[in-house]
Structure 1
Amino acid sequence: MNSAEEQRIDIEKVLPAARAALEELVRIPSVSAVPTAALATAAELTAALFRDAGMPEVEIIDNGAHPAVLARYPAPPGRPTVLLYAHHDVQPAGPPQTWTSPPFEPVERGGRLYGRGTSDDKAAVAAHLAAVLAHGGRPPCGVTVLVEGEEEIGSPALSTLLDRYRDRLAADVIVIADSENLVSGTPAFTTSLRGSTACVVELRTLAAGVHSGGFGGAAPDALTALCRLLATLHDEHGDVAVAGLTSGAEPAYDYPSTRFRADAGVLDGVELHGTGSVAARVWTKPAVSVLAIDAPPLATASNTLHAAARAKVGLRIAPGDDAPRAANALAEHLRTHAPFGARVSVTVNEVAQPYQVDTTARWFAAAARAYRTAYGRDVVHIGSGGSIPFVAAFAETFPTATILITSAGADNLSRAHGPDESVPLTEFARACHAEALLLGELG
């Protein structure tokens, strides 16, 4: 980007409109897990925002699922096109008493804007809007904006949408602003994502529940057997003990254990799981978690040996591994490690592939320049222990596109999906500036 182009971008002029848009979006309880009219309202507002920003083509896509918004500014001759992705749906707020302020009423405290969706992912909608506004609604490259409404339930219709609208969504660069910066003030590109799978394992040991006094000591109860089976998922160091799983490369960026403990809220005196660097443990190695157990609550428990017990087990799959193969390895481990000859059934519920970003792709360096200018610091490459399943779908549909997984202001304190979700306003402003500069770089 030349100095004239950089000087032409005055992000401060458009930030008030971007923040107002963010606050207006946060007020809409667009929870995709419990579909209501709010999802249509969020889509309508998003469409109106980009229409008012000057985008010549704006459409709300039904697609037989939650409404999505597709806005386009066709590329000038010889210029590339960037696809800016975000989602307008959010997670449920949970118990209102766990929030310091109402979840769907944006409130600023200490330089952060609080409310459900402030960081995940309505800040991205507002940042994309700011980037378009910063160029007066006429960016120097092609811009396509896709804001879907079902990311928080796994984007079940996204592959269909990508196939149906392939020609209109085709892009040279795809910006997925649905990640976070590990440290405020330092721009991060997420270059690896773990995949995921989950299964339900059920153990049966008895024909029916029996008296723990009359039969305990010889008759195996299913709940105890289930606990022993789940304990085999890790070795004595806390590393995953499922045979056949692989690990990715050691991350170049460090995640200090003291910062990780603070970010995760690990209690004093409690040791971390596993061995190796913290960054590897949470970004490039597999992780197994027991997500739920069906068991009688204490209030209604009786002195009974249980005939059957169930648990949901989640597996995060390392970059470079294959999700279906890893899911089979987990299921095989559970089937073959049950104690006392218990009868085991395993049902795999979901599978999402891991993903590794190609950092040598054509436009990657240009993006790094834009973010370095906006933040005043070099971009760092981090991993994500979480999964964004649709990234692989984008990569498969548009194999030549440069994929950037960025933050729209979210940081390690944003508490996405939790109470008191927030976005630091300084980081949000930098993200808006970075995207505007990226459009200039591409132009």
Structure 2
Amino acid sequence: MAALTASEIRARVEGDWDRIVELLSRKVALKSVSAEGITGEHMKRSAEFVADELRKVGVDAKVVQSHNPDGTPGAWEVIGSHIVDPEAPTVLLYAHHDVQPVPDPAEWDTDPFVATTVGDRLYGRGSADDGGGIAIHSGALKALGDDLKVNIKVFIEGEEEMGSPSFIPFIEEHAAEFESDVIVVADSGNWAADIPSLTTSLRGNTTVDVTVRSLTHPVHSGQYGGPILDSNTLAAMLIASLYDANGDVAVPGIAADEPVGGLQRDVDEAGVRTDAGIVDGYRLAGTGSLASRLWTKPSLTVIGFDAHPVDGSFNVISPATRFRLSLRTAPSQRPEEAQAALADFLRAHAPFGAEVTVEAGDNGMGWAMDPNAEATKDALEAMEEAFGVAPINQGQGGSIPFIPELQRIFPAAQVLVTGPEDPKANAHSPNESISLPGLRDNVITEALLLAKLGK
């Protein structure tokens, strides 16, 4: 039998469109906020809903409760499979069914848990992140139906928004059920609603807590100020020494990469300035393409700083200051290596010989796709056929720790990171939404990809 054409798959998705949108709308209404308790009944209901929907498209799905590393009950996970031929390639489809909380519904223009269509976008918490991923998987499998030529395994996680504490134990315990040739992670996004992207890389992350001490106790600033600098000033000097005059991280041993797979288009500075709310006079730090600075070069951020509040301050020289540094690492660098280089630099550059102590924090590995893999080529081809325009690959400056862990546990698998989001999606923010035309093209893309992988 000849392979399905793009037009045939598009027609099938169009015929199934009302069901896909209804699925997503019902998912939004479930209020599956994992921050309100990953073991809660609302999360179990969410998992059971997803399992039911997957069974409707041919997946033998079930709900399983994971457990945390300490043995306590964990998230409600959905796993399943559809085996068409033991000799055929196997594809693992990933998404997550938990969503971010809504701290203040008044900040929304619509009810966050009632899916509402405005123009060509559907609004609601989890509509994009990651109900859209679930809808993509469901729609693609329905479109292929009996023409599916690859084995499917599915993992829909229940605690991604909580940092996936039970992810590793669960995967390792169910490794045989997840063993696959290709892993499709539908939890990222596209360059724009009408321009598709593969996510090519993710930065890693490491943290350190630093204490700078110049005195054993506070002293009067009028009596001792001058030769003795306060610890806040010394901490500021130490932090400043981490950068060169251009604002690039200047710590030997901390690596920098270039965008994986080449750079088809640089990130638009005007868009970044608008989206981030950058004040008019601020000049962007660093050198090289803006894409590399956002995706593959390291960045350092002071995310915590202990100092006396301005209100109630008085004339003493602070003896010690503590601050926390978050280092986003290049996709290729082991975070432990970058953390050690950062700690060594901080100790060696203590201003005026102040005492500097460094406490190591958590590490998360970055990830980079293989741009030359057959699965990558199939995905890019599928995207262009579905969207009608060439994809623009993009990295992500943030970290998704489970993706490198998936690659570690299944080193032979090709990992593809796709997703339903676009720059207007507002994932994790008020007025989260998904582009409905973009969702349709994403469903068609995944169906085409699965068809290509089955050849």
Scaled by the length of structure 1, the TM-score of the pair is 0.92
Matched, 1:105 2:106: no
Question: Aligned ranges for residues 411-430 of structure 1 at < 5 Å?
Answer: 411-430=422-441
Q: Which amino acid aligns with 2:32?
A: S
Measured in 2, the distance between the counterparts of 1:208 and 1:111 equals 62
Query: How many angstroms does 1:237 deviate by?
Result: 0.9
Query: How many angstroms does 1:42 deviate by?
Result: 2.0
Which region of structure 1 is more displaced relative to structure 2, 378-387 or 202-211? 202-211
**SS of corresponding position for 1:359:** coil
Query: How many angstroms does 1:328 deviate by?
Result: 0.8
Q: Which amino acid aligns with 1:415?
A: N
C-alpha change, 1:33 and 1:200, in structure 2 (3 Å) is: farther
C-alpha change, 1:62 and 1:94, in structure 2 (3 Å) is: same
C-alpha change, 1:239 and 1:184, in structure 2 (3 Å) is: same
Measured in 2, the distance between the counterparts of 1:435 and 1:144 equals 14
Q: 1:25 aligns with which of 27, 46, 52?
A: 27
Matched-pair contact (CA < 8 Å) for 2:211–2:323: yes
C-alpha change, 1:86 and 1:302, in structure 2 (3 Å) is: farther
Matched-pair contact (CA < 8 Å) for 1:199–1:312: yes
Measured in 2, the distance between the counterparts of 1:153 and 1:335 equals 33
Percent identity of paired positions between Structure 1 and Structure 2 = 38
Question: Aligned ranges for residues 277-288 of structure 1 at < 5 Å?
Answer: 277-288=289-300
What is aligned with 2:405?
Answer: 393
**SS of corresponding position for 1:62:** strand
Q: Which amino acid aligns with 1:239?
A: D
Matched, 1:434 2:445: yes
Matched, 1:407 2:419: yes
C-alpha change, 1:205 and 1:95, in structure 2 (3 Å) is: farther
What is aligned with 1:2?
Answer: 3
Matched, 1:52 2:56: yes
Matched-pair contact (CA < 8 Å) for 1:26–1:115: yes
C-alpha change, 1:294 and 1:114, in structure 2 (3 Å) is: farther
C-alpha change, 1:282 and 1:299, in structure 2 (3 Å) is: same
What is aligned with 2:350?
Answer: 338
Alpha-carbon deviations, 1:100-138, whole Å to 9, x = none?
Answer: 334333333342223332222221112111112223477
C-alpha change, 1:52 and 1:138, in structure 2 (3 Å) is: farther
Question: Aligned ranges for residues 202-213 of structure 1 at < 5 Å?
Answer: 202-213=211-222
Question: Aligned ranges for residues 34-183 of structure 1 at < 5 Å?
Answer: 34-35=36-37, 37=40, 38-63=42-67, 64-136=73-145, 139-183=148-192
Matched-pair contact (CA < 8 Å) for 2:66–2:170: no
Q: Which amino acid aligns with 2:60?
A: P
C-alpha change, 1:308 and 1:362, in structure 2 (3 Å) is: same
Matched-pair contact (CA < 8 Å) for 1:112–1:424: yes
Q: Which amino acid aligns with 1:437?
A: L
Matched-pair contact (CA < 8 Å) for 1:263–1:413: no
What is aligned with 2:70?
Answer: none
**SS of corresponding position for 2:198:** strand
What is aligned with 1:291?
Answer: 303
Measured in 2, the distance between the counterparts of 1:148 and 1:329 equals 35
Query: How many angstroms does 1:324 deviate by?
Result: 0.8
Give the unaligned 5+ runs of structure 1: none
Q: Which amino acid aligns with 2:390?
A: D
**SS of corresponding position for 1:26:** helix
**SS of corresponding position for 1:135:** helix
C-alpha change, 1:110 and 1:201, in structure 2 (3 Å) is: farther
**SS of corresponding position for 1:10:** helix
Measured in 2, the distance between the counterparts of 1:131 and 1:373 equals 15
Measured in 2, the distance between the counterparts of 1:309 and 1:30 equals 40
**SS of corresponding position for 1:163:** helix
How large is the RMSD of aligned CA atoms in angstroms?
A: 2.4
Question: Aligned ranges for residues 248-259 of structure 1 at < 5 Å?
Answer: 248-250=257-259, 251-253=262-264, 254-259=266-271
Query: How many angstroms does 1:238 deviate by?
Result: 0.8
Measured in 1, the distance between the counterparts of 2:318 and 2:45 equals 48
Alpha-carbon deviations, 1:148-186, whole Å to 9, x = none?
Answer: 122223323222222211111111211011112123311
Alpha-carbon deviations, 1:67-119, whole Å to 9, x = none?
Answer: 21102111325322211111122333334443333433333334222333222
Matched-pair contact (CA < 8 Å) for 1:373–1:434: yes
Measured in 2, the distance between the counterparts of 1:229 and 1:375 equals 49
Which region of structure 1 is more displaced relative to structure 2, 266-275 or 411-420? 411-420
